[in-house]
Amino acid sequence: LQEMSAGLQQRGRGHSIKATLEARRLKERLVEAAILFGEKPKQALALLHQQGLLSDLTNVVQVAALLHRMHGLLDRRSLGEY
C-alpha cells in the first residue's frame, strides 16, 4: 500500500487521494454526529467539538453554520426540537 501511495505521489496524484481520504473521514464523522444528534443533540455537538469540527460550543453562529452544513444528514424533527 505504501508503495502504491508513493508511486501515485510521484505521478502527481497523491494529493487528490489524500484529499479524498480526508473528505471521506470528515463525512464519516459528520454522519456519526448526525445519528447521535437524532437522540442526544448536546452530546453530538460535544462530539463535534471534541473532534475539532466545532471550536466553540457557545458560539451560536458557528453551531448554526455547522448544522446548516449537515442539513442533509440531520433529522428535521430533532433539529427543530433543538
pLDDT at 11: 52
Asked if residue 67 lies in contact with residue 79, where contact means CB atoms within 8 angstroms, the answer is: yes
Amino acid sitting at position 27: K
Nearest to 54 by CA among 79, 72, 44: 44
Q: What is the pLDDT along the chain (82 residues), one digit of tens a residue?
A: 444 445 555 555 556 888 899 999 999 999 999 999 999 999 999 999 999 999 999 999 999 999 999 989 999 998 899 8
**pLDDT of the residue at 13:** 52
Predicted local confidence at residue 28, as pLDDT? 94
- Amino acid sitting at position 67: L
